[in-house]
Structure 1
Amino acid sequence: MKHFSLGSKFLKDRGGWWHYVRRVPKRFKDVDKRGLIQVALRTQSQEVAMMRRNGLAEADDALWCSLALQAEGGERAKNRAASERHRAGVARAMAEGFVYRPVEEIASLPDIEEIIARLKEVDRSGAATEEKAEALLGGAPEAKDRTTVSEAFELYVSKIAFDDQYNKSEAQRYAWEKTKRTSIGYFIEREGDIPLIDISRDVATRYRDWWQSRMLPQKDGSSPITPNTANRHIGNIRSLRKRYFKYRGITDIEDPFRDFFFAGKSTAKRAAFSDEWVRDRILVPGLFNGLRIELRAIIYLLIETGARPSEIVNLRPEDIRLDHDVPHILIRPEQNRELKTGDSERQIPLVGVALPAMKLCPHGFDHYYDRNTLVSANLLKAFNQRKLLPSKDHVIYSFRHAFEDRMLEGGLDYGLRCALMGHKNNRPEYGQGGSLAYRRDALKKIAHPFSSDLFDRPASLGL
């Protein structure tokens, strides 16, 4: 606690010399025997006296807080009490003109004069006290940080990881936190809600081995997890621990999860819709009657843009350029919305079924804006009801894989494919993927044919 507004409180002028005078609160008289505290501040300057008074007042407040916490009992209160006692020692040493040092450090000081000065100050005027001795002789060691995993995570979400969330939308923040919270939940379930400082190499190894066991064939017949999944969950607890201690100013602490990384690659690959399936089963007039116009438009846009569902549903009016010589959409971040990667920012010409679909919703998708989970759920429901998923491996995202396959099979240049998919191009860059007209002409070659009746059927305000 800082004491910038005490005025002349606890100060007494005795013959031109200032003293710190303060009574021990009644509730602490049984444990703090000083009764009336009187400390000579050794100055005739009121300004200097106030500065020294502030240090002593802070030290006493911290001491009494420590005593109150000790009275509460319990491990957590005990740790907080030790922390407050250390704070009191630091403040009291500073008020006496010294830097607080642990007793081991004082004992090894090469300058014997400082040690003598500290001893003399403790016993000056025969006024030695336990509190003063603790402060000047290093008897109030800094308490170990006993913050638990769950406590650290709440601080992580609210303060430490502020930068991570700054440019995210509300839905993106929710998804981000949900993923992190799931990882922390796994750790607590296996190892308990222990203090971060107690995550030793043995604890980390045991946790890593548990994830390894889940990567093997399971006796209950459930699917093994992928190396990427295990790495993500281990990485999240590692990151929490590292960033928490960095936030607390502790940077010399060893990482118990060091070198824990599963290098195996998953052979699973999400399936893509075949051209025949899209043309014969999905681009069917009247198939999506009963769905919102917005949802119908989103389906057709996914087919011919290869965009991620979240990129389509969050298009703003200014991102939709229907009156341009080459009608297109802009995939770009907002102040409060991130894209998946920096390479995801791009321009996609509207060809085939995507152009009339976008004209159905020229101002975007208000009902679904920042509601990616709702869109995914509604699309999946609509496709399951109509039996439009050829296998258990097919998902709505399969449209994106199908779009990429069509570009490859259609002979589109690698750089153009990367530009349209929003993928990083690891080859030397000599351009930006071509003009919009060039992109449009290339995409027209692979666009699905569709019936003009596709947009003549009514739609409801259903899903």
Structure 2
Amino acid sequence: MGLVLKHVERTKSGSWQYRRRVPKAVAEVITKREFKRKLGESQKEALAAYPRYHAEVEREIAAAEKRIAAGLAALSPTASDREAYAEALRRRADLIAAGATEDAMANEADAIAASYPEDEYEPVGVSPVDRHTINVLRLGPERYTPPAATLSDALKLYLKERVGDILDNRPADLARRVVGAAIDALGRDPVVSSLTREDARKVRDEMLDRVKVRGRGVGGKVSPATVSRELTIIAAVVSCAKDELGLPATFVNPFSRLPVARVAKGRGVKATDKRDPLPPEVLKAVRHRVISGAGSDLALIWRLLEGTGCRIAEVTGLMVSDVDVSSEFPHIRIEGNAVRSLKTDSSRRVVPLVGDALEAAKEALKSAEGQSMLFPLYGRRRGSDAASAALMKHLRRVTDDPKHVIHSLRHNMKDRLVLAEVSSLDQNLILGHALGGVGDRVYGGEAARLRATTRAMQKAMSASA
């Protein structure tokens, strides 16, 4: 039987070679017609040489695709001046890689300039990328330095370095919205190093003057607590720019520790007062409505929320592989994935399944057979919002107390754990709250922790039965 490998053929002389046409999509970057290399005289030699060269070709094609994508992004109307400059540097690097001399690069710059109409002194209507390319080819990057980073540049850097790119990335969406609001408030996209405390105060005052257009309290002003959280995001974006772009050490982040609203100590709203656990009669009535009248997925989601104390996004974003109902200690594994991120590092955990939550998990697995997401209808971008809105309709038929929300089920679980005298460590492990000392965070294996939290959950659920 002959050797069968992708892009490998036998030559007339009997040797084996790799031969692959360059994809049309990257032909403008990879200028040769094909990839071609002799792999060996024998099948054994070809098999040994193939993986390395095939991987080399794949990397070259991937790099070319990335290069083209970067060029297209730099040409888009939303591209920043720094992105246009970066594309100009890439063009210069391509010319140098092709063997261009200083004179050849100067001639290329003249050719680009000549492609535009001219007034008495210079070409007119030159695109940002071509403008930077002309200058960087003539002067070099040492003399023609990059534009100063703006707040928009800082945002893109922050999203890349600190947030990451996943499908349901609420932190990224929130950062874009908040930084966009800051730019609107200032009336310009400011250079980061030029930001002042006066700019920060102007952004803060504009934010405090906003009127809520949806959710609770529509028509009223946005709360100082919300503005404070938003300003913290802007401060993080600016700090990232300072760290990553090498801003002068003398630059002080103007959004850092910016006062929003002074509230006398002891008079603010405590976190525990913002949401209430659902009273027994409300919990029973809503549970009946959801299980008897909602869709099967919503009913199962409710039962898991009630029986685990998880956040709704943690449940709707579960993958089938995250659920274990057959081991000694059944559990669900809460990890960030392509559908949803997690609120904090401590949110990564395993949560024991006992009682009705275990039965709900088994039913969900059976219903999701052949699927990757446990709840395909809601295991998507903003799926948790859709599930929350649907469940809230049932909840509001029973209670109109603004402190009664779906998140209240976490408070119910917290109360059960407290009343069952479960240790603080086990409570935090179950609910995904920040752990205390270094010993709590670092020591102890997952199996031991799961054994302990399972017993704690069994104790809490039996006490409330």
TM-score range, shorter chain: 0.5 to 0.7
Residue aligned with 1:399, SS: helix
Deviation at 1:63, TM superposition (A): 5.6
Q: Which amino acid aligns with 1:378?
A: A
Q: Does 1:421 align with 2:431?
A: yes
Deviation at 1:343, TM superposition (A): 1.7
In the alignment, the residues of structure 2 paired with residue 88 and residue 287 of structure 1 have an alpha-carbon distance, to the nearest angstrom, of: 70
Find the partner of 1:378 among 390, 393, 396: 390
Deviation at 1:305, TM superposition (A): 0.4
1:291-306 to 2 correspondences below 5 Å = 291-306=294-309
In the alignment, the residues of structure 2 paired with residue 317 and residue 361 of structure 1 have an alpha-carbon distance, to the nearest angstrom, of: 9
Q: Does 1:203 align with 2:206?
A: no
1:46-195 to 2 correspondences below 5 Å = 54-62=101-109, 65=112, 68=116, 70-72=122-124, 81=131, 84-85=134-135, 87-90=137-140, 142=145, 144-145=147-148, 149=151, 152=153, 156-157=155-156, 161-164=159-162, 166=164, 169-172=166-169, 175-195=170-190
Q: Decide which structure has the larger Cα Rg and report it.
A: 1
In the alignment, the residues of structure 1 paired with residue 133 and residue 190 of structure 2 have an alpha-carbon distance, to the nearest angstrom, of: 15
In the alignment, the residues of structure 1 paired with residue 233 and residue 283 of structure 2 have an alpha-carbon distance, to the nearest angstrom, of: 43
The 8 Å contact of residues 352 and 450 in structure 1, kept in 2 or not, is answered as no
Residue aligned with 1:254, SS: coil
The 8 Å contact of residues 420 and 463 in structure 2, kept in 1 or not, is answered as no
1:305-344 to 2 correspondences below 5 Å = 305-334=308-337, 338-344=341-347
1:435-446 to 2 correspondences below 5 Å = 435-446=449-460
Q: Does 1:231 align with 2:245?
A: no
Find the partner of 2:220 among 216, 219, 222: 222
Summarize the Cα distance change of 1:389–1:355 in structure 2 as closer, same or farther, 3 Å threshold. farther
Summarize the Cα distance change of 1:65–1:232 in structure 2 as closer, same or farther, 3 Å threshold. farther
Q: Which amino acid aligns with 2:426?
A: L
1:348-427 to 2 correspondences below 5 Å = 348-362=351-365, 363=368, 364-370=374-380, 371-384=383-396, 387-427=397-437
Residues 56-96 of structure 1 deviation map (CA, whole Å, 9 limit, x = unaligned): 2223434665685953269x96x9847843652237xxxxx
Residue aligned with 2:140, SS: helix
Summarize the Cα distance change of 1:53–1:249 in structure 2 as closer, same or farther, 3 Å threshold. farther
The 8 Å contact of residues 275 and 403 in structure 2, kept in 1 or not, is answered as yes
In the alignment, the residues of structure 2 paired with residue 89 and residue 317 of structure 1 have an alpha-carbon distance, to the nearest angstrom, of: 58
1:28-39 to 2 correspondences below 5 Å = none
The 8 Å contact of residues 297 and 375 in structure 2, kept in 1 or not, is answered as yes
Residue aligned with 1:347, SS: strand
Find the partner of 1:347 among 323, 345, 350: 350
In the alignment, the residues of structure 2 paired with residue 231 and residue 84 of structure 1 have an alpha-carbon distance, to the nearest angstrom, of: 44
Find the partner of 1:267 among 266, 269, 279: 269
Residue aligned with 1:368, SS: coil
Match of residue 94 from structure 1: none
Residue aligned with 2:333, SS: strand
Deviation at 1:300, TM superposition (A): 1.2
Deviation at 1:302, TM superposition (A): 0.7
In the alignment, the residues of structure 2 paired with residue 232 and residue 59 of structure 1 have an alpha-carbon distance, to the nearest angstrom, of: 50
- How many residues align structurally? 341
Residues 84-124 of structure 1 deviation map (CA, whole Å, 9 limit, x = unaligned): 43652237xxxxxxxx66xxxxxxxxxxxxxxxxxxxxxxx
Summarize the Cα distance change of 1:164–1:375 in structure 2 as closer, same or farther, 3 Å threshold. farther
Deviation at 1:375, TM superposition (A): 1.5
Deviation at 1:407, TM superposition (A): 1.1
In the alignment, the residues of structure 1 paired with residue 449 and residue 236 of structure 2 have an alpha-carbon distance, to the nearest angstrom, of: 42
Gaps of 5+ in 2: 1-28, 32-95, 212-217, 369-373
Deviation at 1:165, TM superposition (A): 5.0
In the alignment, the residues of structure 1 paired with residue 257 and residue 130 of structure 2 have an alpha-carbon distance, to the nearest angstrom, of: 33
The 8 Å contact of residues 185 and 202 in structure 2, kept in 1 or not, is answered as no
Deviation at 1:311, TM superposition (A): 1.3
Deviation at 1:415, TM superposition (A): 0.8
Residue aligned with 1:426, SS: coil
Deviation at 1:188, TM superposition (A): 2.6
Summarize the Cα distance change of 1:87–1:360 in structure 2 as closer, same or farther, 3 Å threshold. same
Deviation at 1:297, TM superposition (A): 0.9
The 8 Å contact of residues 301 and 315 in structure 2, kept in 1 or not, is answered as yes
Residue aligned with 2:332, SS: strand
Summarize the Cα distance change of 1:192–1:349 in structure 2 as closer, same or farther, 3 Å threshold. same
Residue aligned with 1:71, SS: coil
Deviation at 1:306, TM superposition (A): 0.5
Summarize the Cα distance change of 1:59–1:343 in structure 2 as closer, same or farther, 3 Å threshold. same
TM-score for both structures, normalised by structure 1: 0.61
Q: Which amino acid aligns with 1:180?
A: A
The 8 Å contact of residues 307 and 354 in structure 2, kept in 1 or not, is answered as yes
Residues 332-355 of structure 1 deviation map (CA, whole Å, 9 limit, x = unaligned): 334775432222222222223312
The 8 Å contact of residues 204 and 256 in structure 1, kept in 2 or not, is answered as no
In the alignment, the residues of structure 2 paired with residue 66 and residue 448 of structure 1 have an alpha-carbon distance, to the nearest angstrom, of: 79
Deviation at 1:376, TM superposition (A): 1.8
Residues 404-454 of structure 1 deviation map (CA, whole Å, 9 limit, x = unaligned): 122122211111111111112113436469554443333233327999xxx
Summarize the Cα distance change of 1:55–1:233 in structure 2 as closer, same or farther, 3 Å threshold. farther
In the alignment, the residues of structure 1 paired with residue 145 and residue 333 of structure 2 have an alpha-carbon distance, to the nearest angstrom, of: 55
Deviation at 1:268, TM superposition (A): 5.1
